[in-house]
């Protein structure tokens, strides 16, 4: 959806904005439900602030592409087309959820969307996406497999084993880092001796890039270029998108490890409000269109909460259903 000089089309601009607004509305609502004690489980990781990264990469992906996410994956799945009603029901632990209420916030997935799973083990999803890339190459498909993970996985050995194998076998894998600056309470500068992550990936033979993760068009443009590179059989890529999570590690974490000034500085670059300003100033969209979009996503998410509230909890007899495969395929 770019024209010949690389400018993002007006239709795509509208899609990117709507996607970010939908993610923000959903995440704020889920956070509210968590505070009211309506979500299942104790932990809830929100991606408010990270919308441009999810929307930029998610919308640059296309049908047939595969992906896995880390534990902060709601926004990414919404960007790939996840239904907010089934997502909300899953987070409420209800039968109409994507995993019939057994996965919860951290394990929402649906293979129909190419979503091979969200993973709570830091870095644990990376080799799964590597396997997805192997399958795509093996089957001769012109698609890519994307592993979304946080900066906390940047020093995990599995990342480097996976990057090596992906480069060695020229697999169509994108290693997509949602760098929100913190792994729980530890700033990236306190966890990494060297911050030149793109160079690390390039040393392994990957094509790498770093992007301002608060600018959705920049994220979309570089993601589109890197995914096109991999789909054409040129091997794996690495993209680090610099962003921020507005809430703490979990919704109830008050983030005592960072300053209010730092939070305010990132919030002043809000990916959604800055994009609205840009689109309105350039005449792509009017204030009333923006208000309509806001109203639409608000109704959509309110309906999702309603749907999740009405959905029943899974019956006791279902406790072990979908936990183990019926057959291992061996006799």
Ligand X SMILES: Cc1ncc(C[n+]2csc(CCOP(=O)(O)OP(=O)(O)O)c2C)c(N)n1
Name the maximum alpha-carbon separation found in the chain: 66
The binder of 249, among Mg ion, ligand X, none, by C-beta within 5 to 8 A per type, is ligand X
SS3 202: helix
The Cα 223–Cα 46 span in angstroms is: 22
Place of tokens 């083990």: 121
Shortest spacing between CB 303 and Mg ion, in angstroms: 31
Closer CB to ligand X, 10 or 120, in the complex:
120
Closer CB to Mg ion, 59 or 245, in the complex:
245
The binder of 168, among ligand X, Mg ion, none, by C-beta within 5 to 8 A per type, is none
Nearest to 258 by CA among 188, 177, 154: 188
- Sheet containing 145-150: order of strands: 115-118, 66-69, 145-150, 173-179, 237-242, 207-212
Closer CB to ligand X, 50 or 224, in the complex:
50
Burial of 308 (0-12, 13-18, 19+ CB in 10 A): buried
Shortest spacing between CB 151 and Mg ion, in angstroms: 4
Closer CB to ligand X, 253 or 318, in the complex:
253
The binder of 122, among ligand X, Mg ion, none, by C-beta within 5 to 8 A per type, is ligand X
The binder of 158, among Mg ion, ligand X, none, by C-beta within 5 to 8 A per type, is none
Shortest spacing between CB 234 and ligand X, in angstroms: 28
294 token code pair: 């806001």
Shortest spacing between CB 260 and ligand X, in angstroms: 19
**Interactions with Mg ion, residue window 125-184 (CB under 5 A):** 150-151, 180, 182-183
Q: Quick check: 68 binds Mg ion (CB under 5 A)? A: no
Shortest spacing between CB 152 and Mg ion, in angstroms: 5
**Which residues neighbour 177 within 8 Å (Cβ) at sequence distance 6 or greater?**
149, 150, 151, 153, 154, 197, 238, 239, 240, 241
The binder of 70, among Mg ion, ligand X, none, by C-beta within 5 to 8 A per type, is ligand X
The binder of 13, among ligand X, Mg ion, none, by C-beta within 5 to 8 A per type, is none
Q: Are the C-beta atoms of residues 29 and 46 closer than 8 Å to each other?
A: no
Helices 287-310 & 271-281 angle (0-180, nearest 10) = 140
Q: Which helix (H) or strand (E) holds 308?
A: helix 287-310
The binder of 162, among Mg ion, ligand X, none, by C-beta within 5 to 8 A per type, is none
Closer CB to ligand X, 52 or 308, in the complex:
52
Helix ranges restricted to H, 36-144: 51-60, 74-79, 84-91, 126-138
Closer CB to ligand X, 142 or 156, in the complex:
156
Closer CB to Mg ion, 23 or 122, in the complex:
122
SS3 212: strand
Shortest spacing between CB 286 and ligand X, in angstroms: 35
Q: Would strands 115-118 and 237-242 be described as parallel, antiparallel, or unpaired?
A: unpaired
Q: Which helix (H) or strand (E) holds 264?
A: helix 260-267
The binder of 271, among ligand X, Mg ion, none, by C-beta within 5 to 8 A per type, is none
Shortest spacing between CB 192 and ligand X, in angstroms: 11
> Residue number with the shortest CB distance to Mg ion?
150
Q: Are the C-beta atoms of residues 172 and 230 closer than 8 Å to each other?
A: yes
Contact positions toward ligand X, by CB under 6 A? 45, 70-72, 120-122, 150-153, 180, 182-184, 249
**Binding residues for Mg ion, per CB under 5 A?**
150-151, 180, 182-183
């Amino acid at each position: 959806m770019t024209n010949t000089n690389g400018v993002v089309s007006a239709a795509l601009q509208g899609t990117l904005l709507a996607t970010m607004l939908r993610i923000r509305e959903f995440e704020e609502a889920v956070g509210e439900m968590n505070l009211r004690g309506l979500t299942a489980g104790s932990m809830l990781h929100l991606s408010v602030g990270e919308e441009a990264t999810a929307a930029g990469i998610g919308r640059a992906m296309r049908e047939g592409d595969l992906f896995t996410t880390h534990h902060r994956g709601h926004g990414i799945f919404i960007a790939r087309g996840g239904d907010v009603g089934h997502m909300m029901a899953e987070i409420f632990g209800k039968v109409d959820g994507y995993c019939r209420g057994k996965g919860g916030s951290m394990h929402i997935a649906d293979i129909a969307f190419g979503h091979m799973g969200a993973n709570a083990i830091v870095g644990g999803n990376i080799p799964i996406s590597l396997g997805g890339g192997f399958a795509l190459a093996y089957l001769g498909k012109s698609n890519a497999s994307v592993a979304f993970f946080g900066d906390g996985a940047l020093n995990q050995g599995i990342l480097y084993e996976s990057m090596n194998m992906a480069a060695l076998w020229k697999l169509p894998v994108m290693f997509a880092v949602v760098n929100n600056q913190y792994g729980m309470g530890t700033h990236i500068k306190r966890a990494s001796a060297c911050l030149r992550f793109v160079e690390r990936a390039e040393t392994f033979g990957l094509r790498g890039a770093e992007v301002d993760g608060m600018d959705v068009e920049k994220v979309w443009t570089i993601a589109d270029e890197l995914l096109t590179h991999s789909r054409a059989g040129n091997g794996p890529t690495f993209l680090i998108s610099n962003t921020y999570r507005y809430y703490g590690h979990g919704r109830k974490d008050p983030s005592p490890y960072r300053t209010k000034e730092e939070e305010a500085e990132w919030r002043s670059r809000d990916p959604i409000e800055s994009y609205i300003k840009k689109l309105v100033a350039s005449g792509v969209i009017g204030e009333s269109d923006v208000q309509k979009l806001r109203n639409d996503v608000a109704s959509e998410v309110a309906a999702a909460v309603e749907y999740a509230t009405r959905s029943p909890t899974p019956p006791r007899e279902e406790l072990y259903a979908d936990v183990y495969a019926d057959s291992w395929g061996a006799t």
